[in-house]
Amino acid sequence: MIKSAVHPLLASLPPTYYSIPLKNPPSRSFNRFFCHSSSSSSSSSSSKNNNVKKSVQDPYFPPRFSVAPMMDWTDNHYRTLARLISKHAWLYTEMVVAETIVHKQDNLDRFLSFPREQHPIALQIGGSNLNNLSKAAALANSYNYDAINLNCGCPSGKVAGHGCFGARLMLNPKFVAEAMSAIAENCDAPVSVKCRIGVDDHDSYSELCDFVYKVASGSPTRHFIVHARKALLNGISPAANRKIPPLKYEYFFGLLRDFPSLQFTMNGGVTCINEVDAAIQCGAHGVMVGRAAYNK
């Protein structure tokens, strides 16, 4: 799909919207992974859950290829299998709701523990309460995840509807910036956002740029994982949301052009390694694959 479609899209990018320096430089950034060199030093110590304690001077390979966080799919068992297949792919947990972490402190290993061999691994959390997001990040910090990601892309009714988070958060970039700041202040890992290109009728390229600009300017966030479809919050299922809204890769490549100081990972519609390679050759900093990584 991508190999035949990306190059024509580069010639039809949306007009430049933002091309100005961003404020609030981060203290921790995914740049240390994207700028990885072959030389590195090893550092480890034991923790109660047998995870690896790394120094910022000892990064893994850059997250050029990652497996998306998927509820009921990317559990410990699947991630163990995925790590056997690939030594360097970045793995993501299933989304863990911030309130679950906060209210299950007597059983955190059930939700947060993982074998040390699963590094590099990112924790995805969901929520819309700043206090609970802060507490969840602080509690997860001792598990030594390599990154913490905030879910701003899930269109599920339980999440974006009743839960008032997931993709619905894209409608409030100011809150997302505050949430990312709160998470970053309470953890030692880089932070990132996973989002769509829009929500319902809020699907213009300028609105997407406004979201990215406000989040990046108001927080230490420098990495955005962008599913190149908008989310439809009413009337269709999460499965339909992965198929019915059209893919607009031109929005993704527009972000690469307009925000050169940020890192963008492309998600959505990628089904094979040739398409991953094609996207990276066209400038994507990374590519995230979802169910194709499980089914194939």
Annotated binding site for FMN: 69-71, 124, 194, 227, 267-269, 290-291
Residue 157: in which H helix or E strand, if any? none
Label residue 227 left, alpha or beta by phi (over 0 means left) and psi (-120 to 50 means alpha): beta
DSSP string covering 31-89: HHHHT--S---------TT------TTS--S--SEEE---TTTSSHHHHHHHHHH-SS-
Catalytic, 154? Answer yes
Task: Show the tokens assigned to 273.
Answer: 């390694």
The CA R_g of the chain, rounded to the nearest whole Å, is 18
CA neighbor of 224 nearest in space, from 190, 194, 189: 194
Contacts of 205 (CB under 8 A, 6+ apart): 14, 15, 17, 251, 254
Instruction: Report the SS3 class of residue 234.
Output: coil
Label residue 50 left, alpha or beta by phi (over 0 means left) and psi (-120 to 50 means alpha): left
Given 154, 195, 209, 282, which residue is catalytic? 154
d(CA 48, CA 54): 15
d(CA 262, CA 221): 9
Catalytic residues: 154
